[in-house]
Structure 1
Amino acid sequence: MACGRRKEGERVRAVYYWNTAFRIDSLKRDFLDRHQIGKIYVRYFDVVPDESGGFPMPNATIRIDSVPADLNREIVPMVFILPDALDCDRRRLADMILRRVKQMSETHGMGTVTELQIDCDWTRSTRDDFFDLMQSLKDMTAKDGITLSSTIRLHQLAGSPPPADKGVLMVYNTGDMRDIGKEKPILDPDDVMPYLKYIKDYPLPLVSAYPIYRWDLLFRNGEFVDIMHSDDDLPVLQSDSIVVRQPSITDIIRCRREIESRRPECADEIILFDLNNFNIKRYDKQNFEDIFN
């Protein structure tokens, strides 16, 4: 049974799972147990435009080999949508997303779907299309008693919220990774603070998500080349620079305190991005407790 229940009013500790295969090994299981993680947001698939001009299609679907029978955590399906995929019959797209998510959860024993989260980096030009999709999804999920949540990027706080029951404020990717002089592109409190003037009156219930990952960035002649995901996935010249960027626990905690001083409800659920073995080893066990507490 993958789905766990929590007491009303209890603070929630959660993680994102963003890998292409769902696998809870002993290291991840120990992390979930040790830090009392009650909720896992799992990216099920992406929605991308059809290259031949047809209807948008699912892509990069997660492979679910097996779910531990005693996992006993709430699993929240998450779908990432490219803005270019919104130019379609959005009610049909909403129906496709919801049906596929339910089918995947049932087939793989991920538990009853009680919440669905949509992630889309919408902008002013794609806002209306995204909100239209979300309204269709909200109508459909409401009939099934499913909570609909949406990721909210910091710059989106200045505008109206999408039709949703809940927003997750993404407190990461705050700076330009392509700037070799930017020392804190993942999370810089100085980049976060200007947006917090909008958070108090933002008319959508909010929780917050914080980064525990790092970037290894390849620069050539001072120009950004790409993110290095392993030591040998990109050709590296002798004159190149590999710059490591990782958020500090101090900055994560500072941002959390600043956010919660303006929106105390953001403390009701703290989400870490994301659950993988490299990130688990990146910080001390007490560091994770400090973030959650």
Structure 2
Amino acid sequence: MKKILFAVLALCFLVSCNSHKEPEIAFYYWKTVFKLSPGEREVLKENDVKKIYIRYFDVDIDKNNQPFPLAPIHFKEKINALTVVPVVYIKNKVMLNQSLDVALLARKIFDFVNKINATNQISCHEIQIDCDWTLESKDKYMKFIEVFKSISRKKLSATIRLHQIKYFNKAKIPAVDCGVLMYYNMGKIAPDSLNSIYDRKIASKYLPSLEKYPLKLNLALPIYSWAVHIRDQKVIGLKPKIDYKSLEKDTNFTAKMNLFFVANNSNYKGGTFYKRNDVLKIERVTAQQIKDMSADLESHMNTYPEEIIFYDLDEINLSHYEKNIFKQAVARF
């Protein structure tokens, strides 16, 4: 009887330890025009996506040293059956501006978000701020977050970089309802063989810090790729959302090593001029690496994420993965 009771108690303990809800799948939409392709719409449906994080606009500094909205979103179709979270990307140089009026900036950003929502008949309950703040800009950024939270009276989330987690005592923690760990852009864009988007060795140096980070976190994982344009061993450009599979069929380029393509002759591709012997270094994240990310993060986070947001929803990005990769990633939690 005691053995049976012990077995039942052990089973109950295991169930309780694994009773957390699996994270929801969400996506970032990072284009200036909102119009879903059939493939993008299919991925949202197959993964039962309920929420989409849409970049509304960037905030930059104009020639008069004043903040202004850059490249605001234009909706070419209505949002149906999806919860929208407006995302505003604020360049760090805005926060470094000595003459910045934080309260005025918060009011203008909130008013512009409301204007976009009203124009497109969108109702939102959450807004996300994306800013890679530094030690020099942290005080103004933290104040901005407090003011924006007070003005908006909405749920507020903010993107968090790995270095801001490891050194959170110095970098400070924004007073938001939830952070989103951007688990990508880990290295320098360079002509070498390293991948600046994701490097497991680099990531491992930051993972232990997650166990002590006091802010609740969701996760943002990369599904994007880009090509680093190299000439004479120097980086001269970055080509986002390039379909690297098309390079394998392009007779103007020859594959060298792992995802390096060399121009056989001078040519134009996608509006860019490539000189003979120019190199395109493809940086991407494989399906296995996405699963590795999930496994590594699951073993170090002090709370389970409620969402995993994939960056970003785009036909080219989606074409590089099997349809079930997103469910496989969240299943690790």
The reply to whether TM is greater than 0.5 is yes
What residue is the counterpart of 1:214 in the other structure? 225
Deviates more, 1:271-280 or 1:82-91: 82-91
Instruction: Give the distance between the partners of 1:165 and 1:246, measured in 2 at CA.
Output: 31
What residue is the counterpart of 1:3 in the other structure? none
Question: What is the CA-CA distance between 1:180 and the residue it aligns to?
Answer: 2.0
Instruction: Give the distance between the partners of 2:105 and 2:283, measured in 1 at CA.
Output: 37
Question: What is the CA-CA distance between 1:22 and the residue it aligns to?
Answer: 0.5
What residue is the counterpart of 1:167 in the other structure? 179
Q: How does 1:107-256 map to 2 (within 5 A)?
A: 107-110=119-122, 112-141=123-152, 144=153, 146-157=154-165, 158-159=167-168, 160-182=172-194, 184-229=195-240, 231-256=269-294
What residue is the counterpart of 1:36 in the other structure? 48
What residue is the counterpart of 2:266 in the other structure? none
Instruction: Give the distance between the partners of 2:130 and 2:271, measured in 1 at CA.
Output: 27
Q: 4+ residue runs of structure 1 moved beyond 6 angstroms?
A: none
Instruction: Give the distance between the partners of 2:111 and 2:22, measured in 1 at CA.
Output: 30
Instruction: Give the distance between the partners of 1:265 and 1:29, measured in 2 at CA.
Output: 31
What residue is the counterpart of 2:248 in the other structure? none
Instruction: Give the distance between the partners of 1:14 and 1:151, measured in 2 at CA.
Output: 15
1:207 and 1:265 in contact (8 A); partners too? no
Q: Secondary structure at the match of 2:219?
A: strand
Give the alignment's TM-score, normalised by structure 1: 0.90
1:180 and 1:223 in contact (8 A); partners too? no
What residue is the counterpart of 1:4 in the other structure? none
2:30 and 2:313 in contact (8 A); partners too? yes
Q: Secondary structure at the match of 1:162?
A: coil
Which residue among 91, 97, 104 is the counterpart of 2:103? 91
C-alpha change, 1:220 and 1:267, in structure 2 (3 Å) is same
Superimposed CA distance per residue, residues 110-131 of structure 1 (whole angstroms, 9 cap, x where no aligned partner): 2x22110000111111111111
Which residue among 28, 38, 47 is the counterpart of 1:26? 38
Q: Which runs of 5+ in 1 are unaligned?
A: 1-7
What residue is the counterpart of 2:313 in the other structure? 275
Q: Is structure 2 residue 300 aligned with structure 1 residue 262?
A: yes
Q: Which runs of 5+ in 2 are unaligned?
A: 1-19, 243-268
Instruction: Give the distance between the partners of 1:260 and 1:106, measured in 2 at CA.
Output: 39
* Structure 1 residue identity aligned to 2:321: Y
Give the alignment's TM-score, normalised by structure 2: 0.79
Q: Secondary structure at the match of 2:305?
A: helix
Which residue among 57, 61, 75 is the counterpart of 2:84? 75
C-alpha change, 1:128 and 1:273, in structure 2 (3 Å) is same
Instruction: Give the distance between the partners of 1:244 and 1:107, measured in 2 at CA.
Output: 39
* Structure 1 residue identity aligned to 2:197: I
* Structure 2 residue identity aligned to 1:246: R
Question: What is the CA-CA distance between 1:50 and the residue it aligns to?
Answer: 2.0
2:211 and 2:302 in contact (8 A); partners too? no
* Structure 1 residue identity aligned to 2:108: M
1:21 and 1:62 in contact (8 A); partners too? yes
Superimposed CA distance per residue, residues 177-234 of structure 1 (whole angstroms, 9 cap, x where no aligned partner): 224221x221111111111121111121101010001111111111111112463333
Which residue among 108, 117, 120 is the counterpart of 1:105? 117
2:294 and 2:330 in contact (8 A); partners too? no
Q: How does 1:54-65 map to 2 (within 5 A)?
A: 55-65=66-76
Superimposed CA distance per residue, residues 142-169 of structure 1 (whole angstroms, 9 cap, x where no aligned partner): xx3x111000011110212112111000
Equivalent pairs counted in the alignment come to: 278
1:24 and 1:67 in contact (8 A); partners too? no
Question: What is the CA-CA distance between 1:9 and the residue it aligns to?
Answer: 6.0
